[in-house]
């Protein structure tokens, strides 16, 4: 009977370790998702900023030139 008790305790310890590992993995996955979301936001912001900068330069160039703008049609 003592052997079964010992096996039961060892199985319980293994189960506890597995639960901790699973919990850590879930936390890691959540952190990775948050980091990916933040990175995507940064990339999108950079792309939008670059687009606005380029459009502003184009508009300024058009103002300095005699070419008609799209809004002047």
pLDDT in tens, 16-52: 999 999 999 988 999 999 999 999 999 999 999 999 9
Whether the pLDDT of residue 69 is over 80: the answer is no
Task: Give residue 46's domain range.
Answer: 2-63
Helix ranges (H only) for 1-73 are: 2-64
26 in a domain, yes or no?
yes
Q: How confident is the model at residue 68, as a pLDDT?
A: 64
Is 39 contained in some domain? yes
Question: Is it the case that residue 58 has pLDDT exceeding 60?
Answer: yes
Q: Are 53 and 46 in contact (CB under 8 A)?
A: no
What's the confidence (pLDDT) of residue 20? 92
In whole angstroms, give the CA distance from residue 21 to residue 28. Answer: 10
Q: What's the whole-model pTM score? A: 0.54
> Is 50 a domain residue?
yes
Number of domains in the chain: 1
């Amino acid at each position: 009977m003592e052997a079964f008790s010992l096996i039961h305790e060892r199985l319980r310890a293994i189960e506890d370790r597995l639960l901790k590992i699973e919990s850590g993995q879930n936390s890691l996955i959540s952190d990775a998702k948050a980091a990916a979301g933040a990175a995507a936001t940064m990339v999108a912001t950079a792309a939008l900023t670059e687009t606005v900068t380029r459009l502003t330069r184009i508009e300024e160039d058009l103002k300095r030139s005699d070419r008609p703008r799209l809004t002047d049609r």
